[in-house]
Amino acid sequence: MGSHRRVAPSGLDRGATAAVGLLSVAAVLGAVPASVAAPHDDTRTEVDRLHTEAERATEAYNKADERTEQLRRQIDDAQDEIARKQERVNTMRDALGSLAGAQYRSGGVDPSLALLLSAEPDDYLDKASVLDRVTTRQAGELRELRQLLRELAQDRAEAAHKLAELEKGRKAVAAHKKTVQRKLAEARRLLAGLPAGERDAYGRASRSGRTDLTGPGGVPASGRAAAALAAARSALGKPYIWGANGPSGFDCSGLIQWSYAQAGVGLPRTSQEQRYAGRRIPLSEARPGDLVAYRDDASHIGMYAGNGQVIHAPRPGAPVRYDPVGMMPVSSVTRI
């Protein structure tokens, strides 16, 4: 069983925010074809392909978005730490400055306190002759000041590096977002070219698949699985929104993350990471609340609901719903 980080449910839509990526768009996705064959079957096949590619791009977007959010939090923490250390440095400088002023009024400033005029006290403190001119207490304060200044410089350098990485991530997100939007726009264009009856049927149709892959169904494996399944059921009928993790809309991994958050379990954002968030089991042992990942790259994921069905957020235009667990090739089943 994998470890579980307990978190409070987020309950937020995260449709179009930033991402550090990490996969290039070109590597994840092919180019949108300029033309498609006229027959309606070919059109539907092409729409399915575009939706699949958009879904893969969305999961790359989600991974980048999650990394960017982590960087933002780290930068905020680093800036808080820098501010605290700077305040401590200022306090120590003030104290040592008061000592220098007192010495000056009594006839001169001890040479050791000249380091107050320098931002880099290391060279001065490294001279043994200096240590002969300060008390043990003063020497300790000077060493502490030197260490703080070193830490401050290192913290600032790390924060600058993370800021640069964050900016790089923003550009990656924009590229992922643009790719997804292009794929979905092309799919909408193709669907608009179908006769109204076929277009409506495509929108209503459940994905067909093997019906012999049923699993035992029955009782969830744990209380958290039962709570997550109840949350997923409460989302039935909510729209598919790419990059969203509830509560008003979901993409596939967003539904899973949100559902388990309602059970107090924190899961990663992407379907690829979610499949490793617990213990892998055979599909034949699946119980309600288990995660079912699809395709070799785990670019789609749903929650087993029992009786051979999953709850999932299928694609744009198809709301959260039940579908056969064998609707497409299953790559793994994970028990949280």
Burial status of residue 204 (CB atoms within 10 A of its CB: 0-12, 13-18, 19 or more):
exposed
The β-bridge partners of 234 are none
Vertex 255: Cα angle to 308 and 297 (nearest 5): 70
In three-state secondary structure terms, 248 is coil
Vertex 333: Cα angle to 330 and 336 (nearest 5): 155
Determine the Cα–Cα distance for residues 79 and 95; give it in Å rounded to an integer. Answer: 24
Determine the Cα–Cα distance for residues 262 and 260; give it in Å rounded to an integer. Answer: 5
**Among all residues, which ones are annotated catalytic?**
252, 300, 312
Largest Cα separation within the chain, whole Å, is 99
In three-state secondary structure terms, 294 is strand
Q: Which of 187, 196, 193 is nearest to 46 (CA)?
A: 187
